[in-house]
Amino acid sequence: MLARNAESLYWIGRYVERADDTSRILNVSVHQLLEDASVDSDHASRQLLAVLGIDSEGTESLDVWKLTELVAYAKDNPASIVGSINSARENTRGAREVVSTELWECLNATWNAVPDRQRYARRAGPHAFLSFVEERAAMFAGLADSTMSRDDGWLFMVLGRSIERADMVVRLLLSRVVADRASSPGWITVLRSAGAQDTYLRTYRGALDAGRVVQFLLRDTLFPRSVFHALRQAEECLQRLDTGGASRNNEKTEALREVGRARSELEFLRPSDLLTDLPRRLGTLQTSIKEIGEAVSMQYFSTSPWVAWSGAEVSL
């Protein structure tokens, strides 16, 4: 597969997942701000922007509507929902020969519907727009599952989705571990933002505390949005893509080494040690995920620059 097509598919997976996760997080946050008058809108909005990696310095006092404009509708912000949809669509347009017609039509129809959905959401509230994005992301995932061969293109798309998902869940947990008590109702917000509330409540029979929430979102082996599950899926994709490794000396590529290390640190961590110095642990994990993404880009997408002779000419 051409490197440009592989890179496009990788970023399609990341951008669609980013739009989906950002919609989930923003939807829950908006409901919380509208329903609870005791919440400081400006502080909560800046906290959410920090989670999403959006710079809030220099902005005036934030409320629900300004937050939604920044996170959902801002075209010039690549981390916004609309920015992610635009980027996913552009990457899909550039890789039409390796994606199915159904996938292209799904993203193109989503992109074309965004302006009308924005206008309606500004009148009726952001929930309609955010729910629309979640539904279209789910449709995209279903079409990818049912119309793409499990070849290298599929692996790059799933790899991008898995890395982005792990990163977003870690960001979400980082937003809560400093401020919330172990029994704070804010942990329900975390579960809802990750699409994990119902599954968590069935798993732990309704018992809510920080340790179990963190355990579930970081280390659960069966929940597809847990960090461990996402890293394991990314590792499987890299193992299938890495066909040139030497089996005798167990050589690993840098990307596979990084993701394997991050996954194993979660897998073999004692549950009793999970909450010990959790902010530092999450920060380290976030750095590892960033390094995984950089290693994937260097290994598969970066090309060597053209090399020209310089200095004295060589005479024969």
Per-run averaged pLDDT (10 residues), the chain, 316 residues = 88 96 91 81 86 78 89 90 96 92 96 95 91 96 93 95 96 74 71 92 85 92 96 96 60 87 92 84 93 93 54 44
Is residue 17 within 8 Å of residue 10, measured between CB atoms?
A: no
How far CA 36 is from CA of 10, 72, 165, 209, in Å, comes to: 39, 21, 28, 21
Query: What pLDDT, on the 0 to 100 scale, is given for residue 311?
Result: 47
Residue 77, Ramachandran bin (φ over 0: left; ψ between -120 and 50: alpha; else beta):
beta
Other Cβ atoms less than 10 A from the Cβ of 161: the count is: 25
Query: What pLDDT, on the 0 to 100 scale, is given for residue 202?
Result: 92
Query: What pLDDT, on the 0 to 100 scale, is given for residue 224?
Result: 94
- Amino acid at residue number 142: G
Work out the angle between the directed axes of helices 227-241 and 254-267 (0-180°, nearest 10): 150
Phi, psi (rounded to 5 degrees) for 41 = -60, -40
How many whole angstroms separate alpha carbon 31 and alpha carbon 39? 11
